[in-house]
């Protein structure tokens, strides 16, 4: 009896202990439910605006979807509960947004709007224990049912199983009687063949509500179907890839332009292809074909639907698959003009402390200490090939340096793109990877080639041999233009007048107002005059046989033989005459006025102008600076005019040289509007007129020059431009140029030439890109202005500004590359090209203008454009049938092929709705459920290799 009493006492103690444990568990569970309820009530009370103000997290999936979270504890475990909500609540069932790209995975899988997710704070983030998952769902369901208002209808989900399966279980309170339960899971391998086809998927859905012993193929079950299929263009075949470095570098560091290899790239027709080969920013396209909701009654209809062409889909959406280099935004791995310009700026920074270019390649003086040992000079064979490409004969084609240039390009003080120095700078970007030693060696050889052209009197390639020096270009380009003209002058002297004086090739027929010279002259004493005329009237060697030269434009064929009679009372002889000027007569001698041969005005570079300005300031002359600059030219013209018109006075020269400074007293003279030449009447001589106030004032500088000018024809005058002297000056400048002056002009020219190259890209006239290119030119002009001061020094912010400019240049270069690729692929559908680019431009815009976007939250570009009916053929042509080499990519077909391409992803939504009477619901039931209830919904997503299924079932248990 004692033992029996002890045993009964022990059992009672165990029962009490178990009851105590259960009571404790119940208390913890109730507290857990209360915490969930309090958090949900707080989120509901805050509302969307307050939650956003309190720091709701914006998801990467799309704009408008946010989440807030809180930490919870139950027993010894920690959980995280997240509330997902949208700023626009337009997602869900039956609103046409089932395939919206902005939907969360759970929204798409179960057709819900806002929802809760509760998960353990563990490494896996999923609940591996089944009872634990059920308990979590029960706690959330009880807590939500205790809440009043909309939050009581929030669905709640718990992630379960292995994380790779993306499996969930969930529950949603739908009123007093109905509850919706959710379940999602994935088959990662060995998908049954039946489930690869629409017929089998239809039967899978029907099996969820039909009797298990039914023959599903023999019964009709009306369900609703929505379908979306994703196609991707074939990836690039490995056989088509060119085995070369990304930026077109060779192992020897040779410029890509001089490395002529047979290759086929997407950008072969793009202007930058002669310098580098850019990776196609478009790796392909993703096409979505959307089938609107339709009623299906049998598996036979599903089998027929699988054979329908995607061209019959209600909607097509296309989005580009971008390259990783373009997707990362900063373009750090990209090889192009921007990356090479950054290397050139590094070379500029290193050149600031050096005195001579030779210091960087000299053995005794190796240059700056920070010069990297990897900065090697390419071998001589490479240098020779680059120089040959640079100095090869362009041909007789006249170079039009302004062709294709942007209207803002002249704001940058550099050399034209097609000029010799412009091409030198572009070669330098790639020669030896643009290190300072390679640039120094390249420049020294470049100057030697220019000297060889000078000494051998060979035309300088890529430079005009005539015209006026353009002072808006950099000084090196001005010097090269100057020496090119001097070489041409030397060639003409050697060819035309090998024994004549050096002055002869400077002659030109110079007539103000471009008046015609009359050749109808009396032949009296013509032989005497002709003999002198033939001696002094030499053709201009700039155009020795050109019928459109300055001389032939107003000298007729008989002007050499005829001249006006020499007055018997005059002992002077007319020399250097180019012919008669219209009907103009000399004021004092009543003789025809002759136009003289004059020298071409002297060409001056920017530094020569500065030297003359300094000289004028030092002399302190009373007349204006412009008059001083023209003094030598004016004196030469006056001397030639005196020689051609021995009896002329100062007023005659003014009437010929500056007609506006001669004022008529009556209407006996008139000015021809087309030539501005004065036609004088012979009925009343001499003509009545006077000098203008400017020319008649006391101490006029022109009259002073006239009085001092001797009567000498241009052939006997001192030349205004000595080609030998000026050519040697140019060579001396090039050979003694300081490194920082060379690199400064190279940076400006390289930016201008690179931008000019990209500006010639054909991209369909995109307005946003055109505007961005114009802004880039203005930014470059403002940033590069510091290089014109020749005052760069270590410690200034100029170098950093130039590096930031490289980043901006890289952004524009990436956009131009994308625009060119889109333009090529959508030649027959320009609207799609423009729309896709505009979408990406707006997506990329926040990243532009910054050196780095590191630390920013990465966000993929997933904007899609709808394809119109007339554009579908163009898009479908991009899906070329797979080749034999690509046959290994083929898998078991799922149907709905597009030019032999099966869908890479197929998504289907099956749904079944039942009509229910209103008495099933409580008074606060959701409004949409009173007439029709979606009792079954299945979302199926996958390919022939994997399959994900999400099922939502509404029941009254």
pLDDT in tens, 473-493: 999 999 999 999 999 988 887
In 3D space, the residue among 632, 658, 653, 631 whose CA is nearest the CA of residue 641 turns out to be 653
What does the pLDDT average to over 912-940? Answer: 64
With cut-offs at 50, 70 and 90, classify the pLDDT of residue 533.
very low
Helix axes 767-784, 739-759, angle to 10 degrees: 170
Per-residue model confidence (pLDDT) at position 611:
81
Per-residue model confidence (pLDDT) at position 763:
92
pLDDT beyond 90 at 876: yes
pTM score, whole prediction: 0.78
14 upstream amide cis, omega within 30 of 0: no
pLDDT beyond 80 at 219: no
| 479/719 Cα distance (integer angstroms) | 19
The strand ranges marked E within 188-258 are: 223-232
> Which residue has better confidence, 353 or 136?
136
Per-residue model confidence (pLDDT) at position 171:
93
- φ/ψ region of 147 (left if φ > 0, alpha if ψ in -120 to 50, else beta) reads beta
Query: In the 3-class helix/strand/coil scheme, how is 867-933 assigned residue by residue?
Result: ECHHHHHHHHCCCCCCCCCCHHHCCCCCCCCECCECCCEEEEEEEEEEECCHHHCCCCCCHHHCCEE
Token pair 């008669």: residue: 580
The secondary element (H helix, E strand) that includes residue 74 is strand 65-74
pLDDT digits (tens, 9 = 90+) for 684-722: 566 677 888 888 888 788 888 998 899 999 888 888 888
With cut-offs at 50, 70 and 90, classify the pLDDT of residue 311.
very high
Q: What is the DSSP string of 243-287?
A: -S-TT---TT---GGG-------TTTTSGGGGT--PPPSEEEEEE
Per-residue model confidence (pLDDT) at position 538:
30
Tokens encoding 173: 């309170």
> Which residue has better confidence, 673 or 532?
673
Q: Read off φ and ψ for residue 915, nearest 5 degrees.
A: -90, 130
What does the pLDDT average to over 504-511? Answer: 46
| 196/693 Cα distance (integer angstroms) | 101
Tokens encoding 325: 């280099």
**With pLDDT > 70 as the criterion, what percentage of the chain qualifies?**
72
pLDDT beyond 90 at 547: no
| 586/565 Cα distance (integer angstroms) | 13
What does the pLDDT average to over 183-194? Answer: 85
pLDDT beyond 50 at 845: yes
On whether the CB atoms of residues 953 and 936 are closer than 8 A, the answer is yes
| 748/937 Cα distance (integer angstroms) | 65
Per-residue model confidence (pLDDT) at position 88:
67
At 466, is the secondary structure helix, strand, or coil? coil
On whether the CB atoms of residues 287 and 231 are closer than 8 A, the answer is yes
pLDDT beyond 70 at 587: yes
Q: Read off φ and ψ for residue 315, nearest 5 degrees.
A: -140, 140
What does the pLDDT average to over 761-770? Answer: 91
| 137/914 Cα distance (integer angstroms) | 26
682-to-412, 564, 586, 669, 911 alpha-carbon distances in Å: 56, 16, 12, 10, 108
Per-residue model confidence (pLDDT) at position 24:
63
Per-residue model confidence (pLDDT) at position 367:
54
Per-residue model confidence (pLDDT) at position 834:
95
pLDDT beyond 90 at 248: no
> Which residue has better confidence, 398 or 438?
438
In 3D space, the residue among 18, 184, 143 whose CA is nearest the CA of residue 940 turns out to be 184
DSSP code, position 939: E
Q: What Rg, from alpha-carbon coordinates, does the chain have?
A: 44
Strand partners, 954: 180
Per-residue model confidence (pLDDT) at position 58:
85
The secondary element (H helix, E strand) that includes residue 66 is strand 65-74
First to last CA, the chain: 51
Q: What is the DSSP string of 537-553?
A: -PPPTTSTT-TTSTTTT
What does the pLDDT average to over 865-887? Answer: 84
With cut-offs at 50, 70 and 90, classify the pLDDT of residue 609.
confident
């Amino acid at each position: 009896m004692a033992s029996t009493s002890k045993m009964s006492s022990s059992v009672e103690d165990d029962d009490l202990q178990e009851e105590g444990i259960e009571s404790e568990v119940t208390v913890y569970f109730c507290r857990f439910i209360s915490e969930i309820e309090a958090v949900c009530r707080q989120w509901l009370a805050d509302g969307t605006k307050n939650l956003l103000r309190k720091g709701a997290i914006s998801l990467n999936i799309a704009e408008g979807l946010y989440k807030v979270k809180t930490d919870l504890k139950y027993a010894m475990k920690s959980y995280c509960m997240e509330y997902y909500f949208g700023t626009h609540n337009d997602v869900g069932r039956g609103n046409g947004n089932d395939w919206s790209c902005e939907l969360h995975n759970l929204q798409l899988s179960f057709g819900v709007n806002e929802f809760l997710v509760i998960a353990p704070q563990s490494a896996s983030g999923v609940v591996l224990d089944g009872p634990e998952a059920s308990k979590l769902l029960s706690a959330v369901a009880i807590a939500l049912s205790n809440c009043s208002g909309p939050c009581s209808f929030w669905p709640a989900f718990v992630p379960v199983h292995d994380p790779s399966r993306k499996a969930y279980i969930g529950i949603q309170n739908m009123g007093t009687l109905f509850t919706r339960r959710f379940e999602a899971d994935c088959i990662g391998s060995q998908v049954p063949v039946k489930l690869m086809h629409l017929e089998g998927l239809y039967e899978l859905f029907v099996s969820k509500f039909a009797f298990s012993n039914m023959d599903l193929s023999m019964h009709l079950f009306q369900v609703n179907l929505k379908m979306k299929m994703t196609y991707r263009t074939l990836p690039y075949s490995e056989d088509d890839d060119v085995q070369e470095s990304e930026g077109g570098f060779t192992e020897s560091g040779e410029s890509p332009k001089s490395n002529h290899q047979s290759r086929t790239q997407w950008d072969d027709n793009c202007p930058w292809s002669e310098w580098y080969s850019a990776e196609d920013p478009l790796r392909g396209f993703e096409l979505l074909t959307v089938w609107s909701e339709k009623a299906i009654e049998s598996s036979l209809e599903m089998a027929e639907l699988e054979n329908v062409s995607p061209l019959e889909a209600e909607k097509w959406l296309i989005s580009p698959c971008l390259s990783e280099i373009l997707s990362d935004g900063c373009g750090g791995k990209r090889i192009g003009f921007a990356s090479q310009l950054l290397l050139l700026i590094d070379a500029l920074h290193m050149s600031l402390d050096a005195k001579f270019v030779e210091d960087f390649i000299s053995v005794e003086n190796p240059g700056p200490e920070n010069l990297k040992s990897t900065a090697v000079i390419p071998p001589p064979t490479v240098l020779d090939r680059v120089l040959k490409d640079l100095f090869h004969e362009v041909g007789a084609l006249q170079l039009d340096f302004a062709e294709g240039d942007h209207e803002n390009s002249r704001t940058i003080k550099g050399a034209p793109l097609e000029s010799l120095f412009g091409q030198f700078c572009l070669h330098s970007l790639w020669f030896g990877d643009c290190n300072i030693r390679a640039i120094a060696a390249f420049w020294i050889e470049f100057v030697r080639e220019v000297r060889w052209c000078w000494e051998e009197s060979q035309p300088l390639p890529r430079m005009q041999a005539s015209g006026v020096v353009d002072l808006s270009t950099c000084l090196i380009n001005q010097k090269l233009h100057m020496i090119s003209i001097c070489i041409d002058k030397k060639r003409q002297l050697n060819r035309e007048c090998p024994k004549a004086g050096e002055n002869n090739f400077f002659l030109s027929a110079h007539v103000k107002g471009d008046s015609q010279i009359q050749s109808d002259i009396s032949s009296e004493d013509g032989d005497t005059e002709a003999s002198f005329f033939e001696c002094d009237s030499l053709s201009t060697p700039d155009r020795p046989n050109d019928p459109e030269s300055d001389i032939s434009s107003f000298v007729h064929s008989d002007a050499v033989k005829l001249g006006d009679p020499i007055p018997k009372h005059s002992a002077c002889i007319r020399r250097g005459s180019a012919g008669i000027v219209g009907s103009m007569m000399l004021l004092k001698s009543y003789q025809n006025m002759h136009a003289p041969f004059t020298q071409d005005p002297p060409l001056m570079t920017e530094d020569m102008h500065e030297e003359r300005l300094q000289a004028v300031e030092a002399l302190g002359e009373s007349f204006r600076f412009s008059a001083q600059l023209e003094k030598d030219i004016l004196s030469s013209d006056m001397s030639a005019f005196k020689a051609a018109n021995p009896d002329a006075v100062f007023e005659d020269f003014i009437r010929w040289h500056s007609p506006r400074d001669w004022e008529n007293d009556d209407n006996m003279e008139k000015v021809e509007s087309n030539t501005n030449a004065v036609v004088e009447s012979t009925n009343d001589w001499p003509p009545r007129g006077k000098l203008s106030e400017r020319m008649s004032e006391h101490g006029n500088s022109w009259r002073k020059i006239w009085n001092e000018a001797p009567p000498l024809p241009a052939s006997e005058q001192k030349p205004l431009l000595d080609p030998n002297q000026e050519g040697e000056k140019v060579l001396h400048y090039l050979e003694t140029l300081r490194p920082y002056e060379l690199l400064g002009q190279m940076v400006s020219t390289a930016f201008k030439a690179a931008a000019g190259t990209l500006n010639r890209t054909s991209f369909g006239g995109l307005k946003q890109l055109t505007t961005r290119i114009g802004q880039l030119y203005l930014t470059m002009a403002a940033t590069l202005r510091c290089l014109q001061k020749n005052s760069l020094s270590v410690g200034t912010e100029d170098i950093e500004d130039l590096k930031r400019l490289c980043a901006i240049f890289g952004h524009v270069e990436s956009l131009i590359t994308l625009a060119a690729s889109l333009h090529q692929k959508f030649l027959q559908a320009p609207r799609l090209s423009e729309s896709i680019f505009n979408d990406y431009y707006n997506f990329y815009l926040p990243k532009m203008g910054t050196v780095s976007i590191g630390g920013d939250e990465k966000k993929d570009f997933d904007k899609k454009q709808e394809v119109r009916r007339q554009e579908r053929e163009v898009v479908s042509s991009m899906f070329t049938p797979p080749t034999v080499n690509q046959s290994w990519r083929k898998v078991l077909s799922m149907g709905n092929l597009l030019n032999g391409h099966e869908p890479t992803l197929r998504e289907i939504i099956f749904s079944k709705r039942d009509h229910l009477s209103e008495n099933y619901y409580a008074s606060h039931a959701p409004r949409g459920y009173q007439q029709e209830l979606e009792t079954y919904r299945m979302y199926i997503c996958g390919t022939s290799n994997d399959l994900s299924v999400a099922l939502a079932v509404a029941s009254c248990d």
